[in-house]
Homo-oligomer: A and B are copies of this chain.
Amino acid sequence: MSRLPLSDKMLDLVARRFRTLGEPFRLRLLQSLEQGEKTVGELVQLLDGHQPNVSKHLQILHDAGLVSRRRDANSILYAISDPMVFKLCELVCRSAEKQTRKDYELLHPPLQRSKRG
The chain A residues found within 8 Å of chain B, CB to CB, are 1-2, 5-6, 8, 10-19, 21-24, 26-28, 30-31, 34, 64-65, 82, 84-96, 99-100, 102
Contact yes or no, B90 A1, CB < 8 A: yes
**Chain B min CB distance to A25 (Å):** 9
A interface: dominant SS: helix
Contact yes or no, B31 A93, CB < 8 A: no
Contact yes or no, A10 B93, CB < 8 A: yes
**Chain B min CB distance to A44 (Å):** 17
**Chain B min CB distance to A18 (Å):** 4
Contact yes or no, B1 A31, CB < 8 A: yes
Among A23, A89, A90, find the residue whose CB has the most chain B CB atoms closer than 10 A: A89
